[in-house]
A and B are shown apart, each in its own frame.
Chain A
């Protein structure tokens, strides 16, 4: 493998790993904040114990989220020096603002929240966890602002052999980031809701002494989770509509549309031949795709083969089609997990409202297993977004292959990749076993 491929693998692996913990940091923070608020309002000690118990998992996810996040911040310079030089003028400011306006907030107040229980008043302590959550969400906003620029560049001009910022409000108000932000933040809330439900399901299954503790946890998590999945899906739909306009190639790849389609049929199952640039088999549902994108029966969905010709005309010879099979199936896995999550959350909410927890062990075991669903959805969503944008690193402005560092040899890239994979593997085992111990120990 050459240095480019190694750098891509390293970024993909370290980002995916980072995104196991980010959603939990954002969502569990919000859940803990709500629980502590209920404690202050209702003066019920149980809510305080809930905030403290779930806070332990916040601690673990923040610890891993932060250390793996710094790896990403450094990695732009480490492996993607030419990208950094070319887009730093516009890509850097959101990251700098993130550290000042968001990350400081989260990090400073999380220390005070964990270690200030007896040093500050209850209300001040509550303020800390809300500031942590606010910081985490603002952090997501600014990081996604930088990402949104890579998907749909706005507010820039090509000058001095690089991309220069000319309109900051346009970058921060990029329609792409509005969609990405709500889609991502609510997906984070769903992820955490499933975590809380799964842990609670374990205790309800084992019939531990903390029935009321976990019943209320499930209730709060399923309300938040259900609201979360509805918003995530709704915004996800808007995102599809947006992508159809701004990145037609990505949409075509996610739907495996090779030749421009006028009948609006949605692919349900396709066997894709990327070399021959066609589908060997494509089971289609009539009309659905046009309704998804255009909200009506009529419409034209440009196919990859036609877009390829168009791009060749604009940008010269080259392959402008992303890895289709991966994008297509990742998109389906994301949507399918989302639908299953919606059903599960409605079911769990109904059960916890009616306090009917007298279920078969299989039910609880299934709930425990369902904690993996949001992670599948999250990672697949990022695959659609990032893989579907290839060969571009910044859409239509810079190819991924042009962004890689020249001074990093394949050997050096291999050393770092192996090092990170090794450490991350050890960490996930340790963090996993610690999490299990804390779950079994209970509140």
Chain B
């Protein structure tokens, strides 16, 4: 395997990790208003993510930076091509990022309710638009021979990309619910558990419908690896359903694995291309014609070799420290 392919896998790894970790952050943000409007419950739900979401978001930052470093042309065409989609992802990220940090700084109920709305809206916007990006990755966008996007911005919001956005939001909401299921306690947990079956049922139906749509629309299951990943996603999702009530921790890992498997299917479908041209197959951008120089990749491989394991260890360690369920009126939250 050449270095560029290795870096394609690292990009996939970072995006999958980002969707796994920020998936439940977004999910909690979107879900919170539907679980409870009471202050104590709200605090607890936010408290479940407030100690870890900063680190989670760096997975996205890292994915973006690695894309820039290892595949400059991919990064350039993706971001400039889907310009307004990314601008509003940023708007969503700003709303929720500031909201999570600011909400508890003032006791005023109006202040808190406003930030709750901002967190929910920001999470939904970012999660949905990342789905739109993924949908367009699968479907292809109007890229010309010079690697420049020549379509209109409205083309990016097609039925398939919108459906992908909805499907991804559903997965994030499920994953967020599974996360809250292992973090909450007391009344908030009871309220969440009364809704778990509904959340799961809707997500399962949505996921199944989307899978059929993707198979027909973009031929998602044509590559054997994508097929394998999609099959694994289905299995993980079913195990998640089985463990819903009896084994919350397993259910959480399974909803996370579903997201990772979906990520695997997406990247397997695209491979060895990185951006599919909907205008002419020959204009599709590939790993080979977008990657950085071998020397640049070599330098970064060395850095990755040291820091990927190191970051995993200390980030994992903080999760271990903060592993307990959130108690009511816990100091600091």
Residues of A within 8 A of B (CB): 56, 59-60, 62-64, 66-68, 70-71, 73-74, 76-79, 81-82, 84-85, 87-93, 95-101, 103-105, 107-112, 114-120, 159-160, 162, 164-166, 168, 405-408, 412, 415-416, 419-420, 423, 427, 430-431, 434, 437-438
Tell me if A77 and B101 are in contact (CB < 8 A).
no
Whole-angstrom distance between the Cβ of B187 and the nearest chain A Cβ: 21
Q: How far is the CA of A97 from the CA of B78 in the complex (A)?
A: 21
Give chain B interface residues in 55-79, CB to chain A under 8 Å.
Answer: 55, 57-58, 60-62, 64-66, 68-73, 75-79
Whole-angstrom distance between the Cβ of B104 and the nearest chain A Cβ: 10
Tell me the nearest residue of chain A to B99, going by C-beta: A63
Tell me if B50 and A115 are in contact (CB < 8 A).
yes
Tell me if A427 and B295 are in contact (CB < 8 A).
no
B164 at the interface (CB under 8 A from A): no
Residues of B within 8 A of A64 (CB): 98
Residues of A within 8 A of B333 (CB): 115
Tell me if A96 and B62 are in contact (CB < 8 A).
yes
| Interface SS majority for chain B | helix
Whole-angstrom distance between the Cβ of B27 and the nearest chain A Cβ: 18
Q: A85-B76, A99-B58 are in contact. Are A415 and B87 (CB under 8 A)?
A: yes
Proximity string of chain B (77-110) to chain A, C-beta cutoff 8 Å, 1 when within and 0 when not: 1111101101111110110011011100110000
Q: How far is the CA of A63 from the CA of B64 in the complex (A)?
A: 19
Tell me the nearest residue of chain A to B330, going by C-beta: A118
Partner of B62, one of A66, A99, A114: A99
Q: A93-B299, A96-B65, A100-B62 are in contact. Are A108 and B314 (CB under 8 A)?
A: yes
B267 at the interface (CB under 8 A from A): no
Tell me if A412 and B51 are in contact (CB < 8 A).
no
B130 at the interface (CB under 8 A from A): no
Tell me the nearest residue of chain B to A94, going by C-beta: B69
Tell me if B97 and A66 are in contact (CB < 8 A).
yes
Partner of A430, one of B64, B80, B102, B292: B102
A-B contact count (CB 8 A): 236
Tell me if A74 and B51 are in contact (CB < 8 A).
no
Tell me if B332 and A115 are in contact (CB < 8 A).
yes
Residues of B within 8 A of A168 (CB): 295, 299
Q: How far is the CA of A62 from the CA of B98 in the complex (A)?
A: 9
Whole-angstrom distance between the Cβ of B46 and the nearest chain A Cβ: 11
Among A60, A115, A407, A431, chain B packs the most CB atoms within 10 A around the CB of A407
Residues of A within 8 A of B94 (CB): 67-68, 71, 423, 427
Which 9 pairs across A and B sit closest by C-beta, in order of nearness?
Answer: A88-B72, A77-B79, A92-B69, A115-B51, A63-B101, A81-B80, A108-B55, A405-B80, A81-B76
Among A59, A117, A408, chain B packs the most CB atoms within 10 A around the CB of A408
Tell me if A412 and B84 are in contact (CB < 8 A).
yes
Tell me if B58 and A407 are in contact (CB < 8 A).
no
Q: How far is the CA of A103 from the CA of B302 in the complex (A)?
A: 18
Tell me if A99 and B61 are in contact (CB < 8 A).
yes
Partner of B55, one of A77, A111, A165: A111
Partner of B307, one of A70, A82, A100, A159: A100
Q: A67-B98, A70-B90, A165-B295 are in contact. Are A77 and B80 (CB under 8 A)?
A: yes
Tell me if A66 and B69 are in contact (CB < 8 A).
no
Given contacts A84-B75, A89-B72, list 19 more A-B pairs with CB under 8 A. A67-B98, A70-B60, A74-B64, A81-B76, A85-B72, A89-B292, A99-B58, A99-B65, A104-B307, A107-B54, A110-B54, A111-B52, A115-B51, A120-B321, A166-B295, A406-B148, A407-B80, A407-B148, A431-B102
Give chain B interface residues in 146-162, CB to chain A under 8 Å.
Answer: 147-150, 153
Tell me if A117 and B98 are in contact (CB < 8 A).
no
Partner of B296, one of A63, A115, A116, A164: A164
Whole-angstrom distance between the Cβ of B279 and the nearest chain A Cβ: 13
Residues of A within 8 A of B321 (CB): 112, 116, 119-120
Q: What are 27 inter-chain pairs, A to B, with CB distance below 8 A?
A: A60-B101, A70-B90, A71-B90, A74-B64, A74-B89, A77-B64, A77-B75, A81-B76, A85-B72, A88-B69, A88-B71, A88-B76, A95-B69, A97-B303, A100-B311, A107-B55, A108-B315, A111-B54, A111-B55, A111-B318, A164-B292, A164-B296, A165-B299, A168-B299, A407-B80, A407-B81, A423-B94
Proximity string of chain B (303-333) to chain A, C-beta cutoff 8 Å, 1 when within and 0 when not: 1100110010011001001100000000111
